[in-house]
Each structure stands twice: as C-alpha cells, then as structure tokens.
Structure 1
C-alpha cells in the first residue's frame, strides 16, 4: 500500500506541476524522503497534520492523498 501512496503522490504532484522542492518546503518533509517515497524506495508513516499539509499544497482533499473516504 505504501508504494501506492508514493505513486499517487507523484502522479498528483506532476499533474498539478508542483515541484518536489515546493512540496518539501511547504510540508517540512525533505526532498530526499519525498523522492524515496515517490519512487517506492521508502515506507513512511505520516501524521495527520503532515498529510493535511501535503493535501493543502496539492490543493486536494486529504482523502484523495490517502484514497480513503472519511464519513
């Protein structure tokens, strides 16, 4: 499932033309960690606030990042 998260993250980021450096700067997650996650080389668990920051930078709902619908 982590690989799926990285793939979704990279796909959304590329579709929105958001550089990985911007995502790193605005979320506090290093470029190296984000790159490793996107490439499926690293598994990472993020806290809700970090997931929310990622969603905010990508201008999407958090559910779209984690592919879970919150009722």
Structure 2
C-alpha cells in the first residue's frame, strides 16, 4: 500500500488518524476500480463471444469462393 503521509512532529493520535484515513482512501479507490472494471470485463467478453460466433456463422454460410490473396501493394514475384 505504501507509506502514509506524515511526520514525527505530529502527535501520535493525529498520525494514527492520518494512517487510518490513507488506508481507507486507498481501499475505497481500489473497491471503486474493481466495481467498474469487473462489469466492463464481463461485457467485453460477452461482446467478443457474440462477435466471434457471428463471424464464424458468416464464414460457414458464405457461398462465394474465397478471395485471392493480396500483394499488399507490392507486385507479386513469380516463384
């Protein structure tokens, strides 16, 4: 977690309150980040699964022959 801000010049009670407050602030931020990140990861997984399934279905039902490979702008050299 790191070191809580403070100095030895402060009274012990105030120093303990600063350490406790810093710890709670860190844990609240960590909790908020996980609450936001968790559902976003699940949503991304669902969207990826749906997209993969749709593209696989499209490939299986396509009646056109596969396209010839492209040369990416460079002329093809004979073998």
Q: TM-score, normalised by structure 1?
A: 0.24
Q: TM-score, normalised by structure 2?
A: 0.22
- Please identify the structure whose Cα radius of gyration is greater: 2
Answer 1 or 2: higher relative contact order, Cα 8 Å, separation at least 6. 1
